[in-house]
């Protein structure tokens, strides 16, 4: 598994925790940073996970507006917590990280959705992110 895939899982965990616990993302990130300091072999995944979480936090309003716009009939509150976190991660990568091709961000999000969410989540995530990628390309 690549360092970026591990980083996405770590970012998913942090965003999910903040969402479910209704805690500020900064407190979750700080706790994770302390844990990461004791795991030097995971430094590469930690750095990108932190970049993702910071990016999602910095652009959350814009990302959430697009999610609501393209997730027809779904409010953010109606989405499963895992799906919402995955959509935010991949949307940030598509919109704000030129190093990650949109197809890679979408594929990674779909795989994580299949692994950690509902049976229908892969299709849902794919549909929403495909529309965001089209939006970004235009």
Whole-number pLDDT of residue 37? 82
Note down the domain range covering 29.
Answer: 3-137
Of 39 and 116, more confident:
116
CA separation for the pair 103, 91 (Å, rounded)? 11
Q: Which residues of 83-122 are buried (b: 16+ CB within 10 A; e: fewer)?
A: bbbbbbbbbbbbbbeeebebeebbebbbebbeebbeeebb
Whole-number pLDDT of residue 43? 73
CA separation for the pair 18, 28 (Å, rounded)? 6
Identify the band that residue 33 occupies on the pLDDT scale cut at 50, 70 and 90: confident
Identify the band that residue 13 occupies on the pLDDT scale cut at 50, 70 and 90: very high
CATH number at 14 reads: 1.10.940.10
Identify the band that residue 22 occupies on the pLDDT scale cut at 50, 70 and 90: very high
State the average pLDDT for the chain. Answer: 94
């Amino acid at each position: 598994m690549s360092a970026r895939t591990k980083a996405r899982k770590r970012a998913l965990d942090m965003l999910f925790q903040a969402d479910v616990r209704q805690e500020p993302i900064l407190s979750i990130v700080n706790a994770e940073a302390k844990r990461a300091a004791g795991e030097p072999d995971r430094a590469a995944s930690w750095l990108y996970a932190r970049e993702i979480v910071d990016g999602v936090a910095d652009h959350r309003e814009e990302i959430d507006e697009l999610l609501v716009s393209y997730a027809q009939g779904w409010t953010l509150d109606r989405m499963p917590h895992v799906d919402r976190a995955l959509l935010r991660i991949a949307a940030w990568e598509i919109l704000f990280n030129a190093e990650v091709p949109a197809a890679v961000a979408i594929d990674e999000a779909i795989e994580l959705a299949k692994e950690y969410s509902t049976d229908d989540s892969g299709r849902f995530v794919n549909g929403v992110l495909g529309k965001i990628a089209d939006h970004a390309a235009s």
